[in-house]
A = this chain, B = another copy of it.
């Protein structure tokens, strides 16, 4: 594993590069802003840990009122439970003997829930849970518009709920109704329309399930782009935003309604200028392996006229506008990643900084936990 790029007490300027830096004031502010935004609302917060993959941040979220966290993979959940998190919802279908066995084993150590969208998979989960002597909470995933996983709302979801409820070692725990693509629709009106439609589908399905005599306890979904909409829907009673702790260039391109909490950018890639070949070009040491570009190039923080124009494996080429302050060789620049989640997954360490001093080094404990 790579050594940490800094020690506690280092000045930001002395952190080795590229490094993943978290501004603790902004991070703590974001956790508090989320708690405040949910005050008096009848939704539970279960933040998604796939964004940070970090036990220390999960614990801070729980200390601020979250009931547990979400994870996306069994191995990610294992890393979080090993770090002391007691309640994890794996917001994913877990398929295959080896994986469902590990999931069931984890349920001996923590409260574990999982999704399903297929009756065959439900039977597989039941049999693994029985072999392990545990009872797993299972939510039926419904597709509310993201066109990814999930049963169709209505009758197919009812059949799935009954299949889950009919298993001795499973408990039907409710509906997972996450609308992923809605998170990045740019206008508040588009996002509202998408979540209104999602909530309607979830509600209609819940009513059908309850008419079969089954309790449909939890309805969960939502991300950083829409969570207040789900919270106001009277349909969802659990939400799972993740990126709000960090934010990224892509989320920062969304327009927000008035009254929406302003989450600050807390996550940065610290990079160093390694070449200044011409007045209009500089090159930093952070490329594709240091910042995921799936949602666009990183942005250069607080350097007007300096644009991160293209990335190769280990280089980022900056375009310097005429008249802009030119970066010096060796100068350290903060980049705002295009997309926080896959960027965090590139690093073993979060360098936690307050007022430009390193205060802590947190391992990204679930980094690379793909299985």
Contact residues of A with B, CB < 8 Å?
1-3, 5, 14, 16-19, 50, 72-73, 75, 92-96, 98-99, 117-118, 120-121, 143, 147-152, 180, 272-277, 281, 283, 285-286, 288-290, 292-294, 311-315, 317, 329-330, 339, 341-342, 345-348, 367-371
Inter-subunit contact A143/B277 (CB<8 Å): yes
Instruction: State the Cβ distance, A104 to closest chain B Cβ, in Å.
Output: 16
Inter-subunit contact A313/B50 (CB<8 Å): yes
A94 nearest CB neighbor, chain B only: B274
In the complex, A339→B36 CA distance in Å?
43
Inter-subunit contact A289/B117 (CB<8 Å): no
Give the 10 A-B CB pairs with smallest separation, nearest first.
A149-B275, A288-B342, A72-B314, A93-B274, A289-B345, A16-B371, A95-B274, A2-B368, A313-B341, A95-B330
A92, A96, A150, A293 interface centre (most CB from chain B within 10 Å): A96
Inter-subunit contact A275/B17 (CB<8 Å): no
A116 nearest CB neighbor, chain B only: B275
Question: If the complex has contacts A118-B275, A275-B93, are A147 and B317 also in contact, measured as CB distance less than 8 A?
Answer: yes
Inter-subunit contact A329/B98 (CB<8 Å): no
Inter-subunit contact A345/B342 (CB<8 Å): no
A50, A180, A294 interface centre (most CB from chain B within 10 Å): A294
Q: A95-B272, A120-B329 are known; give 11 further A-B pairs, CB within 8 A.
A: A2-B369, A16-B98, A16-B371, A96-B330, A118-B276, A121-B329, A149-B283, A289-B341, A289-B345, A313-B341, A314-B370
A-B pairs with beta carbons under 8 Å apart, 16 shown: A2-B75, A2-B370, A17-B96, A18-B370, A50-B313, A72-B313, A95-B275, A96-B330, A121-B329, A148-B277, A148-B317, A149-B277, A150-B275, A150-B277, A152-B277, A348-B368
Inter-subunit contact A314/B147 (CB<8 Å): no
Question: If the complex has contacts A1-B1, A118-B329, A292-B288, are A180 and B312 also in contact, measured as CB distance less than 8 A?
Answer: yes
Inter-subunit contact B330/A371 (CB<8 Å): no
- Give every chain B residue within 8 A of A339 (Cβ-Cβ): 288
Inter-subunit contact B149/A274 (CB<8 Å): yes
Instruction: State the Cβ distance, A98 to closest chain B Cβ, in Å.
Output: 6
- Give every chain B residue within 8 A of A5 (Cβ-Cβ): 371
- Give every chain B residue within 8 A of A342 (Cβ-Cβ): 288-289, 313
Inter-subunit contact A73/B314 (CB<8 Å): yes
A20 nearest CB neighbor, chain B only: B370
Instruction: State the Cβ distance, A277 to closest chain B Cβ, in Å.
Output: 6
- Give every chain B residue within 8 A of A151 (Cβ-Cβ): 277
- Give every chain B residue within 8 A of A143 (Cβ-Cβ): 277
In the complex, A2→B364 CA distance in Å?
12
In the complex, A94→B17 CA distance in Å?
11
A18 nearest CB neighbor, chain B only: B370
- Give every chain B residue within 8 A of A150 (Cβ-Cβ): 275, 277
A1, A16, A339 interface centre (most CB from chain B within 10 Å): A16
Question: If the complex has contacts A329-B120, A342-B288, A371-B2, are A149 and B95 also in contact, measured as CB distance less than 8 A?
Answer: no
